[in-house]
């Protein structure tokens, strides 16, 4: 009986460890992210055809507060350029503007480390590092 408990415990640990390690970190100074259109309301009903849905991109670095990237757009992708070193999660938020309204109704932010919404192959983030300056005092031996 003890062997069965140990085997089950090890199996659970492997699954947990595997899911923690499933995030991919991509080293880049710029990344283009994309998403599917938000076509339904939280009730499950379709977004009315006369309504406008825009999207807001976000980044988040560690425990820092999320930062908006650019302004709201109707496109289903955007390019983000980084200027400070760090590990960044990407986020996107849908903002619904009911017909005739000028104030949008935002969804929650979907983050690139969320297993519920990230496309295959896995969760992801962007790592950005500054390059060093060119070597100085360059000369022949």
pTM for this prediction: 0.77
Average pLDDT over residues 86-105: 97
What does the block give as tokens for 78?
């955007």
Residues 116, 121, 122, 124: what is their CA dihedral angle, to the nearest 10 degrees? -120
pLDDT of residue 12: 46
| Residue 120 in this model has a pLDDT that exceeds 90 | no
Which CATH class, in words, describes the domain spanning 26-128?
Answer: mainly beta
Helix (H) or strand (E) holding 32: strand 30-34
pLDDT of residue 16: 42
**Domain residue extents for the chain:** 26-128
pLDDT tens profile 131-141: 899 998 888 88
Which residue did the predictor score with more confidence, 14 or 105? 105
């Amino acid at each position: 009986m003890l062997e069965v408990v140990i085997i089950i415990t090890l199996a659970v640990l492997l699954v947990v460890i595997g899911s923690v390690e499933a995030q991919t970190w991509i080293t880049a100074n710029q990344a283009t992210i994309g998403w599917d259109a938000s076509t339904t309301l939280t009730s499950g009903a379709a977004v009315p055809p006369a309504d406008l849905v825009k999207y807001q991109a976000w980044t988040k670095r560690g425990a820092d507060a999320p930062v908006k990237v650019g302004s709201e757009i109707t496109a289903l992708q955007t390019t983000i350029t980084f200027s400070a070193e760090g590990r960044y999660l990407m986020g996107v938020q849908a903002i619904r503007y009911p017909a005739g309204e000028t104030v949008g109704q935002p969804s929650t932010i979907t983050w690139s480390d969320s297993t519920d919404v990230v496309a295959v192959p896995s969760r992801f983030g962007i790592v950005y590092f500054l390059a060093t300056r060119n070597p100085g005092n360059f000369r022949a031996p």
